[in-house]
Amino acid sequence: MKLQLAMDVLTVEDALELSGKVAEYVDIIELGTPLVKNAGLSAVTAIKEAHPDKIVFADLKTMDAGELEADIAFKAGADLVTVLGVADDSTIAGAIKAGKAHGKGVVVDLIGVDDKAARAKEVTDLGAEFVEFHAGLDEQAQDGYDLNTLLTAGKAAGVAFSVAGGVKLATVADVQASGADVAVVGGGIYSADDPALAAKELRAAIS
Ligand SMILES: O=C(CO)[C@H](O)[C@H](O)COP(=O)(O)O
């Protein structure tokens, strides 16, 4: 299983500092949506230049104009971009078309989708690289949030998938046991007292 660092920081300086500490322990470096919105796609270029050997993931959460938004992110240096699973199939197909043109990939984020397993199969058929079973930061903050709901849905889908939703050291082995291809960790790394140690421990907990 791959490990993905989600950098929900706001500036290129903070992203470079965080990724500099953590990159050796992760496979995928994600620029979170707030970072892309605050700093623009030049942040993607800066991270790819700093870490050319890593998979750079731009969390665009595209909802419309799939081909156009994906194209500009790929041109900026992204290897993977996200499109929302609640978007129209044509939006997802447009982003995938741009991905094929650049030899890069599209991840479909299932945040806000009710039947995640069913939508995961549909978007995989459209050509998604993998599908993200995701509970966002606001959903995680609600009473009764349970990561296991995502893991059960991911397992049921029978497609390539990642899991994002407050994954941390205590739960990353459960993510791997669910059959996930990628564990996404944001706060579990960037909010730790020692982000490098947190990433190192997460890496050691999975195979
Ligand atoms: O995309 C996101 C929020 O929309 C986050 O980057 C994702 O949820 C991972 O962060 P965390 O591990 O803190 O949940």
Say if residues 198 and 5 touch (Cβ distance below 8 Å). no
Distance 122 CA to ligand 1 centre (A): 23
Q: What is the ipTM of this complex?
A: 0.98
Residue 183 phi/psi, 5° resolution? -105, 125
Q: How many CB atoms lie within 10 A of CB 65?
A: 14
Domain that holds residue 97: 2-205
Distance 168 CA to ligand 1 centre (A): 11
pTM for the complete prediction? Answer: 0.98
- By CB atoms closer than 10 A (0-12, 13-18, 19+), residue 13 is exposed
d(Cα 180, Cα 151) in Å, to the nearest integer? 8
pLDDT for 150: 97
- By CB atoms closer than 10 A (0-12, 13-18, 19+), residue 174 is middle
In sequence order, what are the residues at sequence separation of 6 or more whose Cβ sits closer than 8 angstroms to the Cβ of residue 69?
Answer: 60, 62, 81, 95
Opening angle at CA 115, ends 126 and 99, nearest 5: 25
| Pocket lining: 164 vs ligand 1, CB cutoff 6 Å | yes
Distance 133 CA to ligand 1 centre (A): 11
Distance 166 CA to ligand 1 centre (A): 7
By alpha-carbon position, which residue is closest to atom 10 of ligand 1?
186
Choice from 80, 184, 191, 202 to test ligand 1 binding pocket (greatest atom count within 8 A of CB): 184
| Pocket lining: 136 vs ligand 1, CB cutoff 6 Å | yes
Backbone torsion region of residue 12, taken as left when φ is above 0, otherwise alpha when ψ lies between -120 and 50, otherwise beta: alpha
pLDDT for 110: 98
Choice from 131, 137, 172, 175 to test ligand 1 binding pocket (greatest atom count within 8 A of CB): 137
By alpha-carbon position, which residue is closest to atom 2 of ligand 1?
136
By alpha-carbon position, which residue is closest to atom 6 of ligand 1?
6
3-class state of residue 62 by DSSP: strand
The count of domains in the chain is: 1
Per-residue pLDDT of the chain (207 residues; tens, 9 = 90+): 999 999 999 999 999 999 999 999 999 999 999 999 999 999 999 999 999 999 999 999 999 999 999 999 999 999 999 999 999 999 999 999 999 999 999 999 999 999 999 999 999 999 999 999 999 999 999 999 999 999 999 999 999 999 999 999 999 999 999 999 999 999 999 999 999 999 999 999 998
pLDDT for 207: 82
- Take residue 13 and report the two structure tokens written for it: 């300086």
| Pocket lining: 66 vs ligand 1, CB cutoff 6 Å | no
The CATH number that applies at residue 184 is 3.20.20.70
Q: 74-90 burial, b for 16+ CB within 10 Å, e for fewer?
A: bebbbbbbbbbbebeee
| Pocket lining: 94 vs ligand 1, CB cutoff 6 Å | no
